[in-house]
Amino acid sequence: MSAPELSRKSVAELGRALSARSVSAVELARSYLERIDRHKDLNAFLDVRPEVTLAQARAADARIARGDATPLTGVPIAHKDIFVTRDFASTASSRMLKGYMSPFDATVVEKLAGAGMVSLGKLNCDEFAMGSSNENSFYGNVLNPWDKTAVPGGSSGGSAAAVAARIAPAATATDTGGSIREPAAFSGITGIKPTYGRASRWGMIAFASSLDQAGIMTQSAEDAALIFNAMLGFDPKDSTSVERPAEDYTRALNSDLKSLRIGVPNEFFGEGLQPDVEKAVREALAEYVRLGAKLVDISLPNAELGIPVYYVIAPAECSSNLSRFDGVRYGHRAAQYGDLIDMIKKSRKEGFGPEPRRRILIGTYVLSHGYYDAYYIQAQKVRRIIADEFQQAFQQCDIIAGPVTTSVAFGFGEKAADPVSMYLSDLYTIPGSLAGIPGMSIPCGFGAKNRPVGLQLMSNYFEEAKLLGVAHRYQQATDWHTRIPGGF
């Protein structure tokens, strides 16, 4: 197969080609490394080490030859630079961790490597996963392959751009308030976060621990299901990991949509939703009706309070998690300083960019004496109200569907100067993250300036297999997910 042909293949197809020996893992790795190099201007990758990738590919070929391969053995994948890795630098896109080499691999990385996946390197993202446009990376902007004047979304912007440009067949990503779904929507690919607790947080550089959850970005729901089979599962090293038996996430891919009730929250179609996005989403819902599903009006009355809740809880947890960066054991240390406190203060000022600094300050304030109950506890209470409303909604429906974002991808610099307008990018994704339910974005058309639109699908806890099936049926009936940006 030629290189462009290979880059069009899904993870499922690549797995089959590898086991049929019509391509080797080394050929595949070389072909992707070449594409990564050719599309360097996207700035999607932060660390690429061909010798590491090719050594993993040779091991995968040996495994295939021995006959103990999995459906993923030899298939390349790239990792968001929030997962620590022994063989590539782990920076969280921060100056603070420039050049940091982890003594261990994150569990997610280890599990995918255990299945035989070959790592292409590390992907750019917003610093410490804080952002909605990838403009907060210390290592520069990532360009949206559909339109290089637009942001790819964030925080998993490098993951989204890499999959959209087909310079990686799949990429890991993380979600705290929408960091998988929003960039997946902006970049026209499939992205899913599972139930909180499904993916191990061990080795995922912590931002807001009660929200952080790993997920995957792919060309299709089928690919996501295949990778989830290897990636998710109980991990004794993560104290919030859920103890449940292993599942086959592909089991419901071909389930019937007849009698499926899709809840459509009217709050997700209010003021602020741009008409181009609404049109594409409504058309996707109409497609589901044609496939046999029934639409049900539901209400999530307090979902819009998700943003204020999130901007108390996430900064509070981030101020605590990021207190470990003190310039003593690892990370950036200022060149000039006086005493120990001065060294820590200067190192943190220089090592963190403006957004982490801002969130640390908000978090420090809401956790400080006299404000803890008024802000942090009150936010945790409203968080429960929002989570309970999802449970009431799921009494009336099986799946919730709506837009991922209010608009298509915006341009560089459009929101960078106004944190509050940037925070509103996650209006429709934050409520699901607060509840901890699975959520995904699948491509459902194009809006203004021919930029992609995503359809958001959410299920109740632990129903990833059903959710993936609902997405897969749509992708069987439509071809939005197979569209590739020009020049790639």
Partner 1 sequence: MALTLSDVKRIAHLARIEITEGDAEQTLGQLNDIFVMIERLQSVDTSRIEPMSHPLGGSQRLREDAASIPDVRDVVLGNAPAQQDGLFLVPKVIE
Q: Which of 84, 87, 83, 76 is nearest to 168 (CA)?
A: 76
**Least distance to partner 1 from the beta carbon of 383, Å?**
5
Q: What share of the chain is helix, strand, coil (3-state, %, to 5)?
A: 45, 15, 45
Select 23 or 343, whichever has its Cβ closest to partner 1.
343
Select 340 or 477, whichever has its Cβ closest to partner 1.
340
**Least distance to partner 1 from the beta carbon of 461, Å?**
7
What tokens does 200 get?
């191990």
| Cβ contact 122:90 at 8 Å | yes
Beta strands in 365-437 (DSSP E): 399-403
What tokens does 207 get?
């931002």
Select 196 or 428, whichever has its Cβ closest to partner 1.
196
**Least distance to partner 1 from the beta carbon of 188, Å?**
29
- For the purposes of burial, counting CB atoms within 10 Å of the CB of 254, is it exposed (0-12), middle (13-18) or buried (19 or more)? exposed
| Sheet (strand 261-265) strand order | 45-47, 118-123, 76-80, 171-175, 213-218, 190-193, 439-446, 452-459, 399-403, 261-265, 294-298
In Å, what is the CA distance from 448 to each residue of 71, 141, 276, 482?
A: 39, 22, 6, 20
**Least distance to partner 1 from the beta carbon of 42, Å?**
29
Find the largest Cα–Cα distance for the chain: 70
CA distance 488 to 485: 6
Q: Residues with Cβ < 8 Å from 415, sequence gap 6 or more? A: 132, 133, 421, 422, 425
Query: Which residue blocks in 291-377 are alpha helix, DSSP H?
Result: 306-321, 340-351, 354-366, 372
Distance of CA 162 to the CA centre of its chain: 12
Select 32 or 196, whichever has its Cβ closest to partner 1.
196
Catalytic (active-site) positions: 80, 155, 179
**Least distance to partner 1 from the beta carbon of 315, Å?**
9
Select 276 or 326, whichever has its Cβ closest to partner 1.
326
Beta strands in 234-305 (DSSP E): 261-265, 294-298
Select 286 or 377, whichever has its Cβ closest to partner 1.
377
Select 222 or 317, whichever has its Cβ closest to partner 1.
317
Distance of CA 172 to the CA centre of its chain: 7
Tell me the backbone φ, ψ of residue 244, rounded to 5 degrees: -140, 155
**Which H or E element spans position 36?**
helix 25-38
Select 339 or 479, whichever has its Cβ closest to partner 1.
339
- Dihedral (CA of 251, 173, 183, 159) sign: negative
**Least distance to partner 1 from the beta carbon of 316, Å?**
11
**Least distance to partner 1 from the beta carbon of 391, Å?**
12
Q: Residues with Cβ < 8 Å from 441, sequence gap 6 or more? A: 180, 181, 182, 184, 185, 190, 191, 192, 404, 454, 455, 456, 457
Select 385 or 484, whichever has its Cβ closest to partner 1.
385
Q: Which of 167, 46, 159 is nearest to 485 (CA)?
A: 167
**Least distance to partner 1 from the beta carbon of 226, Å?**
26
Tell me the backbone φ, ψ of residue 298, rounded to 5 degrees: -130, 170
**Least distance to partner 1 from the beta carbon of 328, Å?**
6
